[in-house]
Amino acid sequence: MTPEEQEAYRKACEQTDAIFALEGWQPTEQSKAIDEAVMAGRVTSSQVIREMVAYIKQRGTVDGFVASRLWG
């Protein structure tokens, strides 16, 4: 990810968090870790989605998802 892409992604994350905060939701450590991994270029957002869907289908939860990933 280029520095410009990182900045755009960071801003999008901040805006998303702000919108959800209006409803009382706060980002989890897991969502923060995913955002950091994407911005660091260790994983793409589409890869996260594919892996998370498979993880949830297999386990029925997102608990432990990031800890189970090599990029996490």
DSSP label at residue 60: S
pLDDT above 90: residue 30: yes
Q: What range defines the domain where residue 50 resides? A: 3-68
pLDDT above 90: residue 58: yes
- Tell me what pLDDT residue 72 has: 81
Mean pLDDT calculated for residue range 41-62: 96
Q: How many domains are contained in the chain?
A: 1
**Taking the complete model, does pTM exceed 0.95, yes or no?**
no
Tokens of 59: 């386990």
pLDDT above 90: residue 53: yes
CA distance 33 to 71: 10
Mean pLDDT calculated for residue range 31-56: 94
